[in-house]
């Protein structure tokens, strides 16, 4: 079979002809081909990069319409114009529906909203500097509890201290940092 | 859902979903005069001198004009009912009943003295015409809308409006058998006004019920 567009269209006509006669395989092949045609048709005409419009949703809507209205195609008629007329009707429908409600894709709002996790509260460098400004036991305790996230009992065991002593050292260490870095 | 999954599902349902009954448009067109006749007989009935009037040309022309409108509108409707059918060329067929009616008006203007034109056009039957044609045509229009809803009109409003036009044509054929006013001046004035009511109703119904 030559790859000329007209013969391809005729092949599609034949496929649909067999499909309406009850050939499931032919119908599947027709729908697969139809999906490609509709996708290409819609991609060129619809504002597919705009928010609230999903190209694949439209393709599926067209395929469903093709299915429920397939009795309106008659053997002997070219199937491609029929398919594209349905695609056009559904595309206009989708476009109108989209216009009635404002949908904004959150991805498109990156300029407006900043990701809170990306906003620095205290940088690793600042924390390191604060902890390093402490001495001896206080540094070890603050580092273990605040930076490494260990529990008090774990820290007490690691440093061979009582839990009460860990709490006191931790409190004093934080007070020292607060004094040095301006907040009490 | 993935498009491929949808295709697989639809292919599987191909045989099962194809069984439901679809009222063909031509069958609706055959039923339309039956419904029109029933409404006509219930509401009005033919005028007493119906048979005798059949031999007068002005009386017969009313049936020709209304019948041509019904046929042309139904032909256009068949094209509007399915996707990608060329309908614009069929829309031109509506010029035929319009031309016949215009010709009848011309002849009437020549035959009837000018001072009688007003009396011929404005008769006491005007109101009956404006009410009866939409009343007889409404069930016919409903039948056409039902038939269209099983098709796939890509212009629902237009298809509904043309369905109203076809219903008006069918209705006018019967109403003409009742109406005592046979002058083309009367027909050209009041029949189209009554028709407009059905066209507008059909267009609204089309937008409401013919979307798919």
* pLDDT score recorded for residue A122: 65
Q: Do residues A67 and A98 share a domain?
A: yes
**Structural domain includes residue A20:** yes
The answer, for B83 touching chain A at a CB cutoff of 8 Å, is: yes
* pLDDT score recorded for residue B16: 73
Question: Can you tell me the distance from the alpha carbon of A23 to that of B18, in angstroms, rounded to the nearest whole number?
Answer: 12
Question: Can you tell me the distance from the alpha carbon of A82 to that of A65, in angstroms, rounded to the nearest whole number?
Answer: 12
What's the token pair of residue B169?
A: 């044509």
Number of compact structural domains in chain B: 1
Give the residue from chain A lying closest to B212, CA to CA: A65
Q: Do residues A96 and A127 share a domain?
A: no
* Per-residue pLDDT tens digits for B177-211: 999 999 999 999 999 999 999 999 999 999 999 99
- ipTM surpasses 0.90: no
- From chain A residues 20-49, the ones with a CB under 8 A of any chain B CB are 20, 22, 24-25, 27-28, 31-32, 35
Q: Do residues A85 and A18 share a domain?
A: yes
Q: Do residues A94 and A17 share a domain?
A: yes
Domain that holds residue A28: 8-102
Contact A42, A63 (CB under 8 A): no
First-to-last C-alpha distance (Å) of chain B: 21
Q: Do residues A25 and A81 share a domain?
A: yes
Contact A139, A132 (CB under 8 A): yes
Domain that holds residue B172: 50-209
* Per-residue pLDDT tens digits for B83-136: 999 999 999 999 999 999 999 999 999 999 999 999 999 998 999 999 999 999
Residues of B in contact with A87 (CB under 8 A): none
**Residue A6 pLDDT more than 90?**
no
**Structural domain includes residue B59:** yes
Question: Can you tell me the distance from the alpha carbon of B208 to that of B148, in angstroms, rounded to the nearest whole number?
Answer: 12
What's the token pair of residue B128?
A: 């009956």
* Per-residue pLDDT tens digits for A121-178: 666 777 788 888 888 888 888 888 888 888 888 888 888 888 888 888 888 888 888 8
Number of compact structural domains in chain A: 2
**Residue A46 pLDDT more than 70?**
no
**Structural domain includes residue B36:** no
Closest CB to B17 among A31, A67, A85: A67
Mutate to test the interface with B, among A28, A59, A100 (most CBs of B within 10 A): A28
Å between A166 CA and nearest CA of chain B: 57
CATH code of residue A141: 1.10.10.10
**Structural domain includes residue A36:** yes
Helix orientation angle between A24-45 and B3-17, rounded to the nearest 10 degrees: 130
**Structural domain includes residue A115:** no
**Structural domain includes residue A110:** no
**Residue B170 pLDDT more than 90?**
yes
**Structural domain includes residue A35:** yes
Closest CB to B15 among A22, A59, A65: A22
CATH code of residue A20: 1.10.1740.10
Residues of B in contact with A68 (CB under 8 A): 17, 212
Give the residue from chain B lying closest to A92, CA to CA: B154
Interval A72-90 mean pLDDT: 93
**Structural domain includes residue B19:** no
Residues of A in contact with B84 (CB under 8 A): 81-82, 84-85
């Amino acid at each position: 079979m030559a790859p000329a567009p007209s013969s391809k269209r005729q092949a599609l006509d034949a496929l649909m002809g067999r499909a309406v006669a009850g050939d499931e395989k032919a119908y599947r092949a027709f729908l697969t081909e139809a999906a490609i045609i509709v996708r290409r048709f819609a991609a060129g005409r619809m504002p597919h990069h705009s928010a609230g419009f999903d190209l694949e949703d439209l393709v599926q809507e067209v395929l469903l319409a093709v299915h429920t209205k397939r009795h309106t195609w008659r053997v002997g008629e070219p199937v491609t114009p029929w398919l594209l007329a349905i695609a056009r009707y559904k595309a206009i429908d989708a476009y109108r529906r989209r216009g009635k409600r404002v949908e904004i894709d959150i991805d498109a709002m990156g300029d407006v909203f900043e990701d809170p996790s990306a906003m620095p509260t205290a940088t690793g460098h600042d924390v390191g500097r604060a902890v390093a400004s402490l001495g001896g036991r206080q540094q070890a305790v603050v580092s273990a509890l605040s930076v490494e996230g260990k529990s008090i009992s774990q820290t007490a065991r690691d440093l061979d201290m009582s839990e009460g002593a860990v709490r006191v050292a931790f409190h004093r260490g934080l007070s020292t940092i607060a004094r040095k870095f301006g907040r009490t | 859902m993935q498009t491929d999954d949808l295709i697989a599902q639809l292919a599987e349902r191909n045989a099962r979903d194809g069984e439901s009954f679809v009222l063909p448009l031509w069958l609706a067109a055959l039923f339309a005069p039956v419904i029109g006749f029933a409404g006509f007989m219930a509401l009005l009935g033919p005028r007493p001198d119906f048979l005798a009037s059949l031999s007068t040309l002005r009386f017969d022309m009313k049936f020709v004009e209304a019948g041509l409108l019904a046929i042309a509108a139904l032909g256009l409707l068949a094209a509007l009912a399915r996707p990608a059918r060329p309908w614009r060329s069929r829309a031109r067929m509506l010029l035929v009943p319009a031309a016949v009616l215009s010709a009848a008006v011309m002849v009437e203007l020549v035959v009837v003295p000018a001072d009688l034109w007003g009396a011929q056009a404005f008769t006491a039957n005007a109101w009956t015409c404006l009410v009866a044609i939409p009343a007889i045509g409404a069930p016919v229009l409903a039948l056409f809308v039902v038939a269209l809803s099983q098709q796939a009109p890509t212009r629902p409003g237009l298809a509904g409006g043309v369905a109203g036009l076809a219903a008006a044509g069918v209705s006018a054929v019967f109403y003409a058998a009742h109406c005592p006013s046979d002058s083309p001046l009367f027909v050209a004035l009041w029949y189209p006004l009554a028709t407009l009511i059905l066209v507008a109703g059909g267009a609204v119904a089309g937008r409401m019920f013919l979307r798919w």
